[in-house]
A and B are shown apart, each in its own frame.
Chain A
Amino acid sequence: MLRKTRIVLAALFITGITLLFLGIGHNWWGWMAKLQFLPSLLALNFAVIIGILLLTLLSGRIYCSVICPMGIFQDLVLWIRRKGGEKMQKRQARRIRKLKEQGSDARITVRQYTKKFEYRKEHRLVRYSVLALSVVSIFVSGQMLIALIAPYSAYGRMVRSIAATGTDSMTLPLLVTGLLTLVIICLCAWRWGREYCNTVCPVGTFLSLFSRFSLFRPVIDESKCVNCARCARGCKASCIDFKTHKIDYSRCVDCFDCIETCQEGALEYKYAGFCKCTPKDAGPAVKAGADSVDQGRRAFLATGVVVAAGSVVHAQDHMHGGLAEVIDKKTPERSERLVPFGAGSVKSFYDHCTACQLCVSACKNGVLQPSSDLGHFLQPYMSYEDGYCRPECTACSQVCPAGAIKPVTVEQKQTIRIGVAKVNLDLCLPAQGKDSCGNCSYHCPSGAIRMVRQQGSRNQIPTVSEDRCIGCGACENLCPSRPISAITVDGLSIHRNA
């Protein structure tokens, strides 16, 4: 019963969260992302954190089996492994029976296809070092380090790397990281069960500090136990020592498989009080002096500014029909990064972001992209080559579970300034005496761009009222100058009100 409930809940969660990363149904299961531990921690969402900790204190690491998509994903891999193994085992049995019936005396090597786990000691040093490093990296704003191994965002990247392949929002670093994570996690789960959760995952290790004191837990009744080892062999966390009848509750993820497996009824999930039944305990050894993160690399992918004199393709002749080629836009140099409305400041954004890619998948305008810059690996940034931050859209701020992008309303969005546009008259068509234009001014939602007749010139050129510009990028995206727009947006390090 307990196990079945766990499986149903887990199925719901992984379906919901996977759909979220596919950009489907945020209104229905958006809350699932908000229950994730690390994002909530970075968002300082204390209600969720305390909730998860209380749940862990009460009943162990249920979070790892039901809420964490990465944990459920590994269970899925293990389930496939078990089903496949059983099938192979049956096939082998049939073959043997057949051979026996035929009276063959050929020697058959009987192979073990189903996975059997056994009790292993915890890798204490690795576990706590990773946790310590993660804590340090949060304090020194190196979120990207912890984000690489944190379960929820790693899962998000896995899904994105598969789902977004072939679309414009795909970048090579994301693809490589996502697929690499997928391969490693699959292999690791296949071979060692929940080893990732109990050795690498900082969230798992942190929760283990509480789960070892949990009030409810699976307990082995020594009087009933016949030492058959079924429970230990089925334990994907390798935490049941059947010989001593001890369970390492710091690693048990409350899957309840053992309870179902035990034919003697010796295992029971019950109230056990505040006793410490774990083999030895070690407090977290906070290791200082973690590598300081190289924050120096601010620069975007270096875009050599192609001098785009006459960048617009003009029709060569007057033949009718056909479409002129449109050169793709290139990312311009920006003096400061552009981060979404609701981020507050560039620093705050990168301090909170776990690079889970949820906002990237929510952005329907092609503005948010994962960075390939080492300093902010896979954390998103905004750019306006394929679209601009539309005034009616607040999708990224609604989905962010980490508080990197705080919720804003459409009305609030009009009053926040995240960047400021600047004009490069060397590229601007009217300033260069080519076509009259004014498209930036026409489409500016805040009326910040005005066309002014330059002194001594016939043409009207765009000028920006710096204090009105909110940095949405409509001007940059719709500027006819290609590949580099004549009007581009620089980020503001601290967002402010218009």
Chain B
Amino acid sequence: MGAGAAVATIDACTPDVAKKAGKASTSNKDLHGKMLQNYPGIGVLGYGCMRWPQKRNEQGRNVIDQEEVNRLVDFALEHGVNYFDTSPVYLGGDSERATAEALNRHPRDKWKIATKMSVFNATTYEACVEMYRNSLRIFKTDYLDYYLLHGIGTLNDFNTRFKNTGAMDFLLKEREAGHIKNLGFSFHGNQEGFDQIIALHEQYHWDFVQIQMNYVDWEHPNGRNTRADYLYAELDKREIPIVIMEPLRGGALSDVPAQIADQLKAREPERSIASWAFRYVGSFPRVLTALSGMTYMEHLQDNLESFLDFQPLDDEEKKFLLDVATLMEDYPLVKCTACNYCMPCPYGINIPGIFKFYNDNITADTFVKSKEQKDYTRKRRKYLLAYNEAIPTVRQADHCIACRRCERDCPQNIRIPDELRRIDRYIESLKRETLE
């Protein structure tokens, strides 16, 4: 960790503290134990603030449920979760505000904030600086614990957005002045791009790097994205702390196909499916924190059960998970993590909603495979009804005109229009009963 990163107030939970806190909180779950820390002062379970709970307001629009956010944040801090990752663009631009509101109810030294310079297309120095200063304003602070260049994939990408605009020089000065404790970047892209950007370590000294890592991406990333085992090894070699994003692949690893779920449950019947994914990433010592977008209290509690008094996976268990990942490649799942970067689609398509519907039916085995299948008529009917129920007709896949704007923004490198058309062809074959 960088020299400037030494805010090492160790506020880990002793069993006693946790028990007391558990009673004081609104939850009746009795969680205790010591939060895993690979680097002093940072809980390995980190809070991703991209999926805060939402509710409908009087105008029928979705807004963040602040009351619930406060409750989640309080509970998280009580149990040693103190790293909060947000961005100016999350949740329609409202995530930073909601996160700040919840965190500022606690002393500044109890939490670490990570936010990002989320400029994506052609931009200017002024826009970059304004975005940075705005984050400081929102969090009512004069320093950010972690600051990321949001989602870079190639050197060219880095140059156009941050170097040529002068934003990078500005950020380096801010780090020197102590306003940025740790400067890093989050990465989505191919191996060549990663090599280019990590080579800049000599010049800039990245204090940390945020990568997508989980037991599927370890060997089977989507499309041209880089294998996580390579990313991890490269960063480990340079001793750069790693922040993990999508340890659960946007929930996909908690909702695995039924046959695979059976295998996981056979080994650990009492543990959740999701816990495997968290214990996997928690078993790597270079991990600073693993971010989880815990929308509900139950998510938070389940994850805490994994990270309090953490038991790392042994090599056999890791191998088992990698085999599971290989098996999952056989299912026609769309590797969407519901990050919503593609949204809003200008034509109103509910892209993550359609992918989720499609994936959920595969994992829940309600997917209609063939006309010969048992219960074909009933399953077909149910599937089509459920599709209309889940996605309003004007937002369904057949309205996609393949303008391909979304494709640029997808960190998972999913060819969104092609996938939408694949799903549409499938649904069309169900409707017309032309399934094989």
Q: Report which A residues bind B (CB closer than 8 A).
A: 312-315, 317-326, 386-387, 390-392, 429, 435-439, 442-443, 478, 480
Contact = CB atoms under 8 A, between A and B. Distances in A.
Given A438-B401, A443-B398, 7 more contacts: A315-B346, A318-B121, A320-B339, A322-B92, A323-B343, A323-B345, A436-B402
Closest 6 CB pairs of A and B: A326-B348, A321-B340, A324-B344, A435-B403, A319-B93, A439-B401
Nearest to A440: B401
Contacts of A319: 89, 92-93
Given A320-B343, A321-B343, A392 B401 contact: no
B232 to A, nearest CB: 26
Contacts, number: 81
Contact of A392 (B90, B345, B433): B433
B303 to A, nearest CB: 23
A314 B345 CA distance: 8
- Tell me if B's interface is mostly helix, strand, loop or mixed: loop
A392 B350 CA distance: 25
B340 A320 contact: yes
A439 B399 contact: yes
B94 to A, nearest CB: 9
Contacts of B93: 317, 319
A478 B399 contact: yes
B346 A314 contact: yes
Interface residues of B, number: 33
B7 interface: no
Nearest to A317: B93
Nearest to B62: A322
A315 B90 CA distance: 15
Contacts of B90: 320-321
Given A313-B348, A391-B432, A322 B401 contact: no
Interface core residue of A320, A387, A391 (most chain B CB under 10 Å): A320
A407 B398 CA distance: 29
B87 to A, nearest CB: 8
B400 to A, nearest CB: 8
Given A392-B431, A435-B403, A324 B347 contact: yes
A220 B339 CA distance: 83
Given A392-B433, A478-B399, A320 B91 contact: yes
A320 B49 CA distance: 13
Contacts of B92: 319-322
Contacts of B432: 391-392
A185 to B, nearest CB: 35
Interface core residue of A315, A322, A435 (most chain B CB under 10 Å): A322
B341 A324 contact: no
20 contacts: A313-B348, A317-B93, A318-B118, A318-B120, A318-B409, A320-B343, A321-B90, A321-B344, A322-B92, A322-B343, A322-B344, A323-B350, A326-B348, A326-B395, A386-B393, A435-B401, A439-B400, A439-B401, A443-B398, A480-B399
Contact of A390 (B350, B401, B431): B431
B394 interface: yes
B50 to A, nearest CB: 8
Contacts of A323: 343-345, 348, 350, 395
Contacts of A312: 346-347
